[in-house]
């Protein structure tokens, strides 16, 4: 496979169309650096602090729950990522092969909503970070600086995003490790190892939080592996993504837990980071700001791809130019900035609650996606049909997937424990949202049974073999 030449344009010229084999490039290790660097940021650190402050676990039980949760959830994101080199298309476009050309639109809508919401919350967070570093900069100007910086990265696209995260892996990873060393090299509070304890609800809540965190990346993870050579196989992209995503999040969650234990009880998470790391604190704040901006580019990139996917559903011959991508990015930027500038003080907390609620619709999708790719079709897809106006062999609507999807949502509702909705059985284990588990256990076998009934049609798919 040819590598990208120096004459290739700086700005990515493909969007949701198939990436030809001649244009494939990169190494599996690029997935490690992308997902490792992406997850070393303030949000996972603050979330890790919740293990001590909200779930009241001690250090050892907290670390065990963090590791277990992310190692289990990481299987989903890694399996989704490994599809990219084989398919050569964006994750949401691939959903047409499971739900039909028009049936996939609902999934694309939810994915776009999540992207936009994350983009808004991150530019608010970036604005606050800029003000914290340079108090003389007005909040509106800080928000615009963070938004424009992320937009520039997102517009340039795939290669630049990977390049930044290769650099970020070394910089952010080293900074966090130095932070750990600084904390443990200084005197620790007397209750550092004894604060908190074991409680089943808090432990299960932490495990669930780790699993949910990883699943939340699954709707767009293969967007960043689709340019890899097709002959790279399944194993290498799987492990590169799995190790990057799990190690990055485990490191950040653990750092948040350690930082709050190293400061007086009740200290806010990011304040605890600054206080517990001494001279390194201000440096970490600057690095976190840069990482927020870099990570937020992924949200804008995904939002624009989702919008293009939606439009292309009704205009199958349309291939957007670089100029169109820039225009769409600018429109998303403008709308998000308007919302961010008027955001309330607790906007980020409210948004995280919304994201956890939206996972009710992501879990059945992830179940269907993975069962279809790995168990039913075993990677045998007709790419041409995915882009046909009538859906080709996949049709406009696939009732098997749609029925399984909605049943997968409905069975979760009684067990849901979110800020938007609390089901009647939400507190079977107090404080732990286990609805995702019910969704997985029901959707996977249900979709398999429904889909294998129509194998005669699926059998017309072009036969390929896994290249491992």
Section 322-340 average pLDDT: 78
**What is the model's pLDDT at position 258?**
96
pLDDT band at residue 156 under the 50/70/90 scheme? low
- Per the structure, the count of domains in the chain is 1
How many percent of the chain have pLDDT more than 70? 88
Q: How far apart are CA 142 and CA 158, in angstroms?
A: 26
Assigned domain for 102 exists: yes
pLDDT band at residue 319 under the 50/70/90 scheme? confident
**What is the model's pLDDT at position 444?**
95
Assigned domain for 437 exists: no
pLDDT band at residue 291 under the 50/70/90 scheme? confident
Assigned domain for 442 exists: no
Assigned domain for 446 exists: no
For residue 411, pLDDT over 90 is answered with: yes
**What is the model's pLDDT at position 4?**
41
Which residues constitute the domain of residue 320? 21-347
**What is the model's pLDDT at position 157?**
58
Compare 120 and 75 and report the one with higher pLDDT: 75
Assigned domain for 42 exists: yes
Assigned domain for 107 exists: yes
For residue 141, pLDDT over 50 is answered with: yes
Residues 6 or more apart whose CB falls under 8 angstroms from that of 6 comprise none
Assigned domain for 423 exists: no
pLDDT digit string, tens, across residues 13-56: 666 778 888 888 888 888 998 899 888 888 888 889 989 998 99
**What is the model's pLDDT at position 412?**
93
Mean pLDDT of the chain: 83
Assigned domain for 421 exists: no
Section 390-395 average pLDDT: 90
**What is the model's pLDDT at position 348?**
62
Give first-to-last CA distance, the chain, whole Å. Answer: 15
**What is the model's pLDDT at position 183?**
94
pLDDT band at residue 463 under the 50/70/90 scheme? very low
CATH label of the domain that carries residue 68 = 1.10.4160.10
């Amino acid at each position: 496979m040819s590598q990208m030449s120096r004459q290739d344009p700086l700005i990515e010229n493909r969007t949701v169309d198939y990436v030809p084999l001649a244009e494939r490039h990169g190494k599996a290790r690029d997935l490690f650096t992308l997902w490792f660097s992406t997850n070393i940021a303030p949000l996972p650190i603050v979330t890790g602090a919740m293990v001590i402050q909200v779930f009241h676990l001690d250090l050892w039980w907290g670390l065990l729950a963090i590791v277990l949760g992310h190692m289990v959830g990481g299987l989903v994101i890694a399996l989704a990522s490994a599809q990219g080199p084989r398919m050569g298309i964006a994750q949401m476009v691939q959903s047409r092969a499971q739900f039909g050309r028009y049936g996939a639109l609902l999934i694309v809508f939810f994915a776009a909503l999540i992207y936009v919401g994350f983009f808004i919350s991150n530019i608010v967070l970036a604005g606050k970070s800029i003000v914290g570093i340079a108090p003389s900069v007005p909040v509106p100007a800080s928000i615009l600086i963070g938004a424009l910086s992320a937009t520039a990265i997102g517009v340039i696209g795939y290669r630049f995003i990977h390049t930044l995260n290769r650099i970020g892996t070394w910089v952010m990873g080293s900074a966090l490790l130095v932070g750990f060393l600084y904390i443990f090299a200084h005197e620790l509070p007397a209750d550092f190892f004894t604060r908190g304890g074991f409680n089943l609800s808090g432990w299960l809540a932490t495990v669930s939080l780790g699993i949910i965190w990883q699943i939340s990346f699954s709707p767009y993870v293969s967007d960043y592996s689709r340019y890899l050579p097709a002959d790279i196989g399944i194993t290498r992209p799987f492990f590169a993504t799995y190790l990057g995503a799990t190690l990055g999040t485990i490191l950040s969650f653990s750092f948040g837990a350690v930082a709050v234990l190293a400061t007086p009880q009740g200290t806010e998470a990011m304040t605890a980071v600054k206080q517990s790391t001494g001279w390194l604190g201000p440096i970490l704040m600057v690095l976190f700001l840069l990482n927020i901006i870099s990570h937020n580019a992924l949200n804008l990139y995904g939002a624009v791809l989702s919008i293009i996917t939606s439009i292309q559903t009704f205009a199958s011959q349309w291939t957007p130019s670089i100029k169109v991508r820039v225009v769409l990015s600018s429109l998303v930027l403008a709308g998000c900035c308007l919302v961010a500038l008027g955001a309330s003080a607790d906007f980020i907390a409210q948004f995280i609650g919304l994201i956890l609620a939206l996972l009710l619709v992501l879990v059945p999708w992830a179940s269907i996606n993975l069962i279809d790719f790995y168990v039913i079709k075993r990677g045998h897809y007709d790419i041409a049909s995915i882009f046909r106006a009538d859906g080709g062999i996949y049709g406009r609507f696939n009732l098997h997937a749609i029925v399984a999807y909605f049943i997968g949502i409905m069975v979760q509702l009684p067990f849901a424990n979110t800020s938007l909705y609390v089901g009647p059985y939400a507190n079977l284990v107090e404080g732990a949202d286990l609805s995702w588990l019910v969704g997985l256990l029901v959707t996977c076998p249900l979709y398999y049974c429904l889909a294998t009934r129509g194998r005669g049609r699926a059998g017309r798919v072009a036969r390929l073999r896994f290249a491992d």
